[in-house]
Amino acid sequence: MKILILNNGSSSLKYNLFEMDGERTLMSGTIDRIGLDRSNHLYELEGSSPVRRDLPVNDHGQALDELFHVLMEFGPISSLDELRVIGHRVAHGGKFKDPVRINPDVISEIRRMIPFFPLHHPAIALEIEECMQRVPNSLHIAVFDMTFHKTIPDVAAIYGLPYRYFSEKGYRRIGYHGHSNEYVTSKAAVFLKRDISELKLISCHLGNGCSITAVDSGRSIDTTMGMTSVEGLIMGTRSGSIDPGLIPVIMSEEGMTSDELLDMLYRKSGLLGISGLSRDMREITKAAANNDERAVLALEAFCYKIKRSIGSMLMVLGGCDALIFTGGIGLHSDVVRELVLRGSERLGFSIDRNINADCSKNVNNEVVDISSTESSTRILVIKTFEELVMARQCLKLAIGIENHRGV
């Protein structure tokens, strides 16, 4: 069965086409800078070198047209009807917690959650509707980032607000990067040659969005992201957790509307806001090495918040068998990994600096152990594969639907 997984951003469309018999990736790619200048499509077919197409892509509908054109013209299918299932990554499904077949009710619920996810949900809802129009014969399934975190207990999920916000409105810690956490923790268990039910793990997903998750016996028990994707760590353009008392003060002083405040918190803060330079950790690290004071501050504040959150998760778990770094920054930045773990040797975290440096140059390895011989906790760098987890979830639901039809 061929399953296409779509992962939408506000100005990008990432995709993977799988043949689930053998879990082969037939084609993968990214259509970037949608609606902006210099838009492009970078894709790679199984066993081939990457190919780049530079072309104007004005909206997500055009992005889908470009994707389907390349899939049929140069890719592994001759008809869109070969796409038995199309999976759509969704940050939050509202009342829907598990993968679900998309219908008007599901789309309505995704749109209802837009105020909570202004960066993601507008583009996701549009992409789903456009895709279902173009490929009506496929089974369209929504998979949710927060499904993995359903096991977070109420004591960790509740906010210190009047109880009705928790009981009636469902305002609680939800958590994200669930597909990534599920993948890397299962990979860690295989690498450590232990059953995941025996392990206490801390997963650090560090990219443009960042979160840290405590995983006990394969179950998420706490995470740094909250009801929205702006809580927690300092991120590329997102502020992370701030004093909520500052919000009305800033709005009053700056004469901001709520939309303008959200724009600042989601798009103009984080690494970009502190450094005044970039949201890209590679540029921040380079500028910091050249003694740019704000870049140094952005880098050190980013790592400090991670260090503090790891300490919190360590206490929640009551110990840690392995610490995992994943995501674009977690995978590629030896500088961030070293700064995060500097001074934590007495807690059992010690890296081999040479392996750590070499690891970032050899990211094709799925799992790299950067622990020193003195480290009592294994420190692993793991390349995530969120799309494969999503494809597996889609396959499970699709088989269930087909079996139900056959009854």
Mean pLDDT (the chain) is: 93
- Can you give the pLDDT at residue 46? 92
The CA-atom distances, in angstroms, between 138 and each of 80, 121, 404 are: 8, 22, 17
Domains in the chain with CATH codes? 2-144 (3.30.420.40), 193-386 (3.30.420.40)
**53: CB partners within 8 A, 6+ apart:** 40, 41, 42, 43, 66, 70
Ramachandran class of 276: left when φ > 0, alpha when ψ lies in -120 to 50, beta otherwise = left
The pLDDT > 70 percentage for the chain reads 98
Q: What is the pLDDT of residues 32-86, one digit of tens each?
A: 888 878 889 999 999 899 999 999 998 888 999 999 999 999 989 999 999 999 9
Q: What is the pLDDT of residues 125-162, one digit of tens each?
A: 988 999 999 999 999 999 998 899 999 999 999 999 99
pLDDT beyond 80 at 199: yes
**Under 8 Å between Cβ of 261 and 251:** yes
Distance of CA 296 to the CA centre of its chain: 25
Mean pLDDT of 259-275: 95
Q: Ranked by mean pLDDT, which of 34-38, 48-52, 118-122, 196-200 comes out on top?
A: 196-200
Please identify every residue annotated as catalytic. Answer: 145
The pLDDT > 90 percentage for the chain reads 84
Mean pLDDT of 386-398: 95
pLDDT beyond 80 at 277: yes
**Under 8 Å between Cβ of 228 and 116:** yes
Task: Give the pair of three-digit tokens for residue 309.
Answer: 């959150």
- Can you give the pLDDT at residue 366? 82
pLDDT beyond 90 at 247: yes
| Banded pLDDT at 407 (limits 50, 70, 90) | very low
- Can you give the pLDDT at residue 10? 67
Mean pLDDT of 265-282: 95
- pLDDT higher for 4 or 97? 4
Mean pLDDT of 346-365: 85
Helix (H) or strand (E) holding 123: helix 121-134
Q: What is the pLDDT of residues 99-112, one digit of tens each?
A: 999 999 999 999 99
pLDDT beyond 60 at 203: yes
